[in-house]
Structure 1
Amino acid sequence: MKRNATAVWNGSLKEGAGKLSTETTTLKDTQYSFKSRFEEGVGTNPEELIAAAHAGCFTMQLTAYISEEGFEVESIESKCDIDLVDGTIITSHLTIHAKIKDISEDIFQQFVAKAEKNCPVSKVLNAAISTTAILV
């Protein structure tokens, strides 16, 4: 499987702006700029998109592990916080709230740890990855 996205930038770094589009058109000419990345501006930024990708990928991987063992997933909500420091993404922290029928806390945390290490986005990030998982 291959996927793609396109970025187009016009102008200087601080005064210019760009547009992001994805193959599926989920993003279509989505604005991004210096202000949306480093200040408060309209549009998205690469770190926000990485956070969305990591949260989505992790949640799917966790769901797969739980389901493969016969547990029923009612819901899993994952929030990802990305820290960009001096031009480097240094951490990605996932906060998970999950409702899983008949699963113990210990087994749940084992699945979380396994998903943290094995989701494809975790594998590509060169950052410290951590989780806080709450079984509801």
Structure 2
Amino acid sequence: MIEKIATIQWQGQGKKGQGKISTETGALKQYPYGFGSRFEDDRSGTNPEEILAAAHAACFTMAFSFACDKAGFATANIDTKASVRLAKQGEGFVIDRIALTMIAEVAGIDEAKFQEIAAAAKCDCPVSKALAGVEDITLQATLK
């Protein structure tokens, strides 16, 4: 089993508070986030949705590459974007949509097989499974 760790340190109240995100690898080390970087246009910090988008794009891309390899197709290049939408719901918020967009170079594969492997990778990657409660997870996969 594999377990990864991230830690948060928060100071202050609500909208005025500021958090710092760190990961065990040091990829994020005391990286700031707060109300401004989550709900406004403050680009000096990150936010949970951006981190979730990165995690989902990374997991899906790796799952797709591994699935292609297993099926006998070599992935040369894969570019994936994940867009996570945070929507107001009642008094709170909900992540109601994640849109994955992938453009990939895969030698010797036809369009039908490419789409089949991409759809399976979207369903099978561990982050997709963890996000099963998200109402709408879409995939637009383009073979280059």
TM-score after normalising by structure 1: 0.98
The corresponding residue for 2:128 is: 122
Count how many residue pairs are aligned between Structure 1 and Structure 2: 136
Aligned counterpart, 2:139: 131
Q: Counterparts of 2:14 and 2:26 in 1: how far apart (Å)?
A: 25
5+ unaligned residues in a row in structure 1: which ranges? Answer: none
CA distance in 2, matches of 1:47, 1:36: 10
What does residue 52 of structure 2 align with? 50
Aligned partner of 1:68 in structure 2 is 70
Picking from 98, 104, 108, the partner of 1:98 is 104
Unaligned ranges ≥5, structure 2:
none
Aligned to 1:59: 61
Would you identify which runs of 4 or more consecutive aligned residues in structure 1 move more than 6 Å?
none
- Calculate the TM-score normalised by the size of structure 2: 0.93
Identity of aligned residues (%): 43
- Render the CA deviation track for 1:48-69: whole Å, top value 9, x for unaligned: 0000000000000000000111
Q: CA RMSD for the aligned pairs?
A: 0.7
- Measured in 1, the distance between the counterparts of 2:75 and 2:125 equals 18
